[in-house]
Structure formats: C-alpha cells, structure tokens
Structure 1
Amino acid sequence: MAQPRIYVLSRPSFENSELQRFLQDRELAWVESSGASEGEHLVEVCGRICYMSFSDDTSKMRYPNDVYIENLVKKGHESVLEHANWTFILDGISRAFTHQLVRHRIGFSFSQLSQQYHDESKANVVPPEGLQSEVKELWEASTSETIKAYRRIVELTDANKAIDLETKRRLRSEARSLLPNAVETVIAVTANARSIRHFLNLRGSLIGDIEMRQVSVAIYHMVTGDARALFSDFEIVDHSDGYPLVSHRRES
C-alpha cells in the first residue's frame, strides 16, 4: 500500500542579524543556546519579547532553549509557538482524509486540487488499509464503476463543442458528484507549531483511522526534524495493528 507523501516547501527561519540589530538599538544582549534550530530560536526570542528578558550575564540563572520552550508548553503559554510555521504538500491522500483535515481551521491554511477544473478521468483511488476478501472485491467494483460513469460524463461534455464555459462547468460539477471519497487528491498546507500540536494530539492516535495516523506520523517527522523542542512531549509509538501512531505524553 502506497504511503502518503509529504513535500516541505518552507520551514521556520530565523534572521539572527535582525535580532542583533534590535538588541543593539535597545542596548540589550542575548546568549543563544548552542544546538537550537532556527525555529526553536524564533520561539524563544518571541517569548522573551513579552518580558524583554534578554541578558548576556551567564552568571544569572537562565533557561537554555529546550528548557525554556518546555516551560512555555507546561504552563500553557503556547501562543508563542504560533510564530513557527511550515508549508508543505500532502500527496497520495484521499478526499476522505482531506475532508477531516480541513476541519482544522485555526492556524491552518489550505489550497487543494479542484475536482471542478481538473480532469479526474485518470485519478487514482486510495483504498482503506486492511480491506479483506469480499469487502475488498465490493469496494474495488464500486469505485471502478463510479469512476467509469464520471469518465463517460466528461467524454460527453468534451465532445459537445457547442456548449459555453459555464455550461461545461456545470456538467463537470455533475460529473465530480459521482467521484468517491477514496479518490486521490493533493493539498498544500500552511500551519503553525501550536496548531500542529493540536492536530497531532487530536488525530495522531486515532486507532480506527490509519490514513490519519500515517499522515500524522509524516508531519511529526517533518516538524521534529526542524524544531524538536516544540514537540518534545510527543513520540512515535508502535501499535499492535502494525501501523505506528503519534502519542502525546501528558504530565501526571
């Protein structure tokens, strides 16, 4: 079974030169934690802006970056995490999945392939994991027939050269209404770290939704590769069904 594919278009960035210019104008200084990523520096700096808690006095007690961010999360001060954003493409996923994904509106932006304008005659379908015997045969036969019907309507529409653009649009809409939720789609997503945390917490360990878990695992690897400290209370856990999930370690 093909896995959902993720392509990262942009990651959190941090312009240290601009921060230094700000600190100089304010007659402040800051000792950054070694080993922290750009996204992690960004979150810490935005957090320190709230209290102007910048200092280069190493004799004073100060949190290193990972501890500083961990403390923000523990205290529920996650608004600072909204400054770290990713833009990525999800491909090889079903419309059924994106119907769930786009319910996450706060902190998310979406641009999805249009079935009205894009010819879906050669579209693939994404079978649910675990289809067995008679159910699999029925599923494959049903999806095949609906896509055949879609193709026929598109053929009839394209063959009629006399129809105007709006009529063609209406007929294409009639055709797409036949397409099953299993049709493969592609969607561009922009999301901030706080919203991604909420998504992973809510969706990453849904036992009955394997496709959702697969995408959650892909997103987890994307964000932790760039800013591990922002997601240090999440982990990948193997499940007995053979598909991993994203688990949130809550404080006891």
Structure 2
Amino acid sequence: MEIKLLNYTKDPDGICFQTAKICYQSKSNDKEGLLNKIIKAGHLSILEHASFTFLIKDISRVASHQLVRHRIASFTQQSHRYTKATGFFTPEKIQQDAQAKEIFNELTKKALSVYEELLNLGLPKEDARYILPCSIVSDIIVTMNARELLHFFTLRTCQKAQKEIQDIAIEMLKICKKEAPIIFKNAGPPCTRGRCYERKPCEDINQIRHFFAEL
C-alpha cells in the first residue's frame, strides 16, 4: 500500500479560518482559537471549503468497497475492464499464519492463472475479471473535503474498523495533520475525544488516545 497527497487546498487552516470569520463576522486573529471553538460546536460547514486529493496504490477491492461508502467524496479507480489485473493484498493475520498463507497464496495463484487462460482465449478483460477474488489490488484517487475527512477518520481509524482500511485512514490522517494541524488536531476515533460508542470498547483506550495525540 502506498498513499500520496496529489493536491490540496492551499493553507487549509487559513481558508477555513477566513470562512469562519465571514460566517460569524468575527474580528478575531486567533486562528486556532476560533477554529477549535467552531469545530467543537459542530458548525462544520466551514471545513467544506478545504479539500484533499489522495492517490492510494495497491488497495484491495475489499477495502475500496468500504472506502466508496463515504459518499460525500469523489473517486476514480483503476478499471479492470480496461487494465490487466495483477497482484493481491494479503491480510496481516493471514501473513502471520504459515498454513493460512499457503492456502491463500495457492488460491490467488490459481485464480490469476485462470484469469490469464481466459484472456488467452480471447475473452475481454471485463469478463475475465469475474474469476478474480476481492483481494485483487488496484489504484484509486480520492478527493474529500475536510469535513468528510473528519467523519472518515472517526469511523475508519477506530480499532474496530477492518485493518486494511484502518491503516489507510491512519496514513491519510498523518498527511492531513501535517498540512492542516488545527483542523485535524483532534481527528481520530471517537474515544480520542470522549467516550467510545462501541458495544465492547477497547481495553487500551489510554494507549489509543496517546497514539493519536502523537501522530
């Protein structure tokens, strides 16, 4: 997996601060104070004026299906109708289990072999791809505004999220914190800002809070 920031609104904190000043006719020059106050109050429309575009490489179809459920965003994914499928994502727990890894690799290797056979028979890629498992990887470009990113990070950096998309979200958050440290100062799972809303909260919430505070 590789994540790259392709483009973003110049000075995201600054544009959102200016938007907040217009909205509230504020004469404040305290950028961090005003933004923190408004974000805490939940008046998040000001954050929609800053956007970020990411390239995510080698994401599985499992994770991309979860990603595109965030509908207030724009997505362009590598098309397996027109490009040849190559490579698979192996989940961490499968990688750590020698027997499971062997079974997994055997199946994905067979699937790719059958895919190649279908292509050699003259079938179009859009039909041959039906044989491929959801672990097949592709590249995707994602554009989200800062408001949607905060929502995305709330859901997908949580330890209850699936590991692959959790890793993707954390890497995206690292990038966002670098470019917009005020907006994303407290971004992360709900437990970093208060109580956990899961039925069975994680046992190491203090460690989780420390991790995101130092991210």
Shorter-chain TM-score range? 0.7 to 0.9
Q: Tell me, in whole angstroms, the C-alpha distance in 1 between the residues paired with 2:81 and 2:176.
A: 33
Deviations 1:104-139 (A, max 9, x none): 011x1000000000022xx11110112113222211
- Once superposed, which parts of structure 1, at least 4 consecutive aligned residues long, lie more than 3 Å away? none
Matches within 5 A, 1:1-252: 4-13=1-10, 38-54=11-27, 62=28, 64-106=30-72, 108-120=73-85, 123-131=86-94, 132-157=97-122, 171-207=124-160, 209-234=162-187, 249-251=192-194
Amino acid at match of 2:180: A
Q: Which structure dedicates a bigger proportion of its chain to helix?
A: 2
Identify unmatched segments of 5+ residues in structure 2: 196-215
State the SS of the aligned residue for 2:183.
Answer: helix
Amino acid at match of 1:227: A
Indicate the percent of aligned positions where both proteins have the same amino acid. 30
Identify unmatched segments of 5+ residues in structure 1: 14-37, 55-61, 158-167, 236-245
Q: Which has the larger radius of gyration?
A: 1
User: How many residues are paired up?
Assistant: 193
Q: Aligned Cα RMSD in Å?
A: 1.7
* Structure 1 residues 134 and 192: alpha-carbon distance in aligned structure 2, compared to 1, 3 A threshold: same
Q: Tell me, in whole angstroms, the C-alpha distance in 2 between the residues paired with 1:133 and 1:49.
A: 59
* Structure 1 residues 68 and 248: alpha-carbon distance in aligned structure 2, compared to 1, 3 A threshold: farther
**Given that residues 3 and 57 in structure 2 are in contact (C-alpha distance below 8 angstroms), is that contact kept between their aligned partners in structure 1?**
yes
Shift of 1:53: 2.3
Output the TM-score relative to the length of structure 1.
Answer: 0.72
Q: Tell me, in whole angstroms, the C-alpha distance in 1 between the residues paired with 2:191 and 2:32.
A: 17
Deviations 1:164-209 (A, max 9, x none): xxxx6xx322201111111111001111111010001011113462
Q: Tell me, in whole angstroms, the C-alpha distance in 1 between the residues paired with 2:58 and 2:191.
A: 26
Output the TM-score relative to the length of structure 2.
Answer: 0.84
Amino acid at match of 2:42: G
